[in-house]
Structure 1
Amino acid sequence: MPHKFNADRRDKIPKQKHRVNNWTEYNEGLRRRGDLTVWISEEALALWSAPPRTTPGGQPVYSDLAIELCLTFGMVFKQPLRQTQGLMRSIAGLLGMDIAVPDFSTLSRRGNGLSLSARTASKSPKPLKLVVDSTGLKIFGEGEWLEEKHQTKRNRRSWRKLHLGLDLVSGQIVCSDLTRDDVGDPTALPGLLDQVDGPLDLFLADGAYDGERTYVVLTARFGSMIKVTIPPPKNAILSPDTARNPGIRDRHIADIRTHGRMAWQKASGYNQRSRGETLMGRWKTVIGPKLKARSFENQKTEARIGVRILNRMTELGRPNFERTA
């Protein structure tokens, strides 16, 4: 049914209007996202070569930081590995840097299980407000064209599942994971929570995370005072122990039955989950809807670097909105 089918009977709610009150700083932050000096520094150049190896085996030429920097440039400017090699070679020549640039085969080989440089953890005393969501990313392989052109069935589904956790306070991605398409959202949740460093007082997710398993994991890790907002399905039923010890899910079901789903969304703050969907759209716009790497381990490295890129762009400047109407 089109959403305007019963428009004459819908409540006429005027659309909110907002404006950015730090436009000068935010505008400069947007410019800096394309600034090469943001992505390369003297510290990175000083650590370009790999440290001497103390165990038996060949001596690597490039450090993990050098490989990470090259792959980051390739993702920011959407270049394949060969073009990334040429881009880094030209940058080194323009800046007068006497450094060796890894070739495309080295970037592919070293990207398998690459250890990323440690990032400084946020020291904010405020507890995290976590929004978790997932989306599909296409990968190289047999796709829709083969199925349509030759009327053949695809041997496998050509996509991976990206799980992201966004902190509503800082706007940073605090946890991420890339899994195969057969891994469900509740199954990937414990791995995401292992990456959360600090207290958590709010957890927002869509109905795919609904279930007793999710509530047990969250309360076991962050205590019974955590606020969990997950919409139960329309046919959800109360637990047998509701009368004596109602759980978080039971209270959600009772509120929806009493006040309606729309009122529950507004009262519980569930509408803030839209920022998780915005994050997914931002990923597919800035990073892209497709993974370039062929192997699964290289794809996981690509996803981790993509998280670093989005977080770095967020650090350069965020808009501050104020409501005007």
Structure 2
Amino acid sequence: MPHKFSDARRDKFPKAKYRVTNCSEYNESLRRRGDVTIWVSDDVVQSLASPRRKTRGGQARYSDLAIEICFTLRVVFRLPLRQTQGFVRSLAKLMGMALVVPDFSTLSRCGKGLRITPHWRAASKPITLIVDSTGLKVHGGDGWHAEKHPTRKARKTWRKLHIGLDPETGDIVASKLTTEHMGDETALPDLIAGIDADVSRILADGAYEGQGVVDCLEDRFGSGIEIIIPPPKTAVRGENAQRNHHIAAIAEHGRMNWQAETGYNQRSQVEAQISRWKQVIGERLQARDFDRQIAEAQIASKALNRMTGLGRAKYERVF
């Protein structure tokens, strides 16, 4: 049997083609991502020392900002901890500043429970929130050693990254790293808890379909929020008016027409952001401890937002 049994009777949709209209500006933004001064500026260097402690206890030698800068350079340039220490030490030497750079063991220890301040451009009007999740590999071998030598294979595991995207600015306004056992609906309340912007519309795939998601979104953003989640094929009408309207529109005009009318096709932007994450940051987490992996994911989100702020590509459809 062929891969698609009804392929000869399927409707063929030509793939749309786009071109970039701001090539020079976008190329310059890509070059600036490799500029170290974007990530380590002169005004930031002055805040690397930890503020004086006024309570009982030992005095911290490095501030959270210093640890965050080191981890940001590690995530952006994909460096191990020891190479990160040497890289930051060489930057301090080139800048002519007598800075004591945290060693690799200090970075590893301070990465656990590190407080990361979110960085994304605030909107002047209510935003559209697109949520989705993906899997990230954890540190470990690829199985070659277990195949070469008669050892027991390690059980495969991964982490689940949940993100919320603002399509207007392209920034990640919320991110949460969980274990692979936590579902999308369960992780949603913690994901949207830190969003301090007004959300007028939310887009999500069928994994978020359920009354619990509706109650969570209305409690957080108000009853007037527009929820665009595709109902399953076997969905029946219930008490939710928005869901009943979606079911009726799909039954009358078809699912493709419903996607175009509601703007559900915008959800492809969060899938593109996930692909961008794995291309720029990588599809594997460097940290081994779960708490350190959480900090690494938060720093990666902040770094991607910094890259987006440098410039985005503008497209126009040509076919």
TM-score normalised by length of structure 1: 0.91
1:250 alignment partner in structure 2: 244
- Letter paired with 2:288: R
Check 1:151–1:6 CA distance in 2 against 1; reply closer, same or farther (3 A cut).
farther
1:145: Cα distance to partner? 5.1
Q: Where do 5+ consecutive residues of structure 2 fail to align? A: none
CA contact (8 A) 2:48 2:62 kept: yes
CA contact (8 A) 1:161 1:178 kept: yes
Matches within 5 A, 1:85-96: 85-96=85-96
1:161 alignment partner in structure 2: 160
1:31 alignment partner in structure 2: 31
How much identity, in percent, do the aligned residues show?
A: 53
Check 1:117–1:195 CA distance in 2 against 1; reply closer, same or farther (3 A cut).
closer
1:117: Cα distance to partner? 4.3
Q: Distance in 1 between matches of 2:179 and 2:62?
A: 30
RMSD of aligned C-alpha atoms? 2.2
Cα shift readout 1:41-100 (whole Å, capped 9, x = no counterpart) = 112110111111112221111111111001111111101101111111122222222111
2:102 alignment partner in structure 1: 102
Q: Distance in 1 between matches of 2:107 and 2:241?
A: 50
Segment drifting more, 12-21 vs 262-271: 12-21
How many residue pairs get aligned? The number is 318
CA contact (8 A) 2:33 2:307 kept: yes
1:42 alignment partner in structure 2: 42
Matches within 5 A, 1:217-256: 217-239=216-238, 241=239, 246-256=240-250
Segment drifting more, 309-318 vs 291-300: 291-300
1:270 alignment partner in structure 2: 264
1:17 alignment partner in structure 2: 17
Secondary structure of residue in 2 paired with 1:258: helix
Check 1:143–1:25 CA distance in 2 against 1; reply closer, same or farther (3 A cut).
closer
- Letter paired with 2:203: L
- Letter paired with 2:274: M
Secondary structure of residue in 1 paired with 2:244: helix
1:196 alignment partner in structure 2: 195
Check 1:118–1:283 CA distance in 2 against 1; reply closer, same or farther (3 A cut).
closer
Check 1:280–1:260 CA distance in 2 against 1; reply closer, same or farther (3 A cut).
same
CA contact (8 A) 1:26 1:318 kept: yes
Q: Distance in 2 between matches of 1:20 and 1:2?
A: 38
Secondary structure of residue in 2 paired with 1:225: coil
1:178 alignment partner in structure 2: 177
Match of 2:281 among 280, 287, 305: 287
1:320: Cα distance to partner? 1.5
Check 1:143–1:55 CA distance in 2 against 1; reply closer, same or farther (3 A cut).
farther
CA contact (8 A) 1:143 1:158 kept: no
1:220: Cα distance to partner? 2.4
Q: Where do 5+ consecutive residues of structure 1 fail to align? A: none
1:211 alignment partner in structure 2: 210
1:128: Cα distance to partner? 0.9
1:199: Cα distance to partner? 1.3
Aligned: 1:301 with 2:295: yes
CA contact (8 A) 1:146 1:152 kept: no
Check 1:90–1:124 CA distance in 2 against 1; reply closer, same or farther (3 A cut).
same
Q: Distance in 1 between matches of 2:297 and 2:67?
A: 15
Check 1:127–1:13 CA distance in 2 against 1; reply closer, same or farther (3 A cut).
same
2:186 alignment partner in structure 1: 187
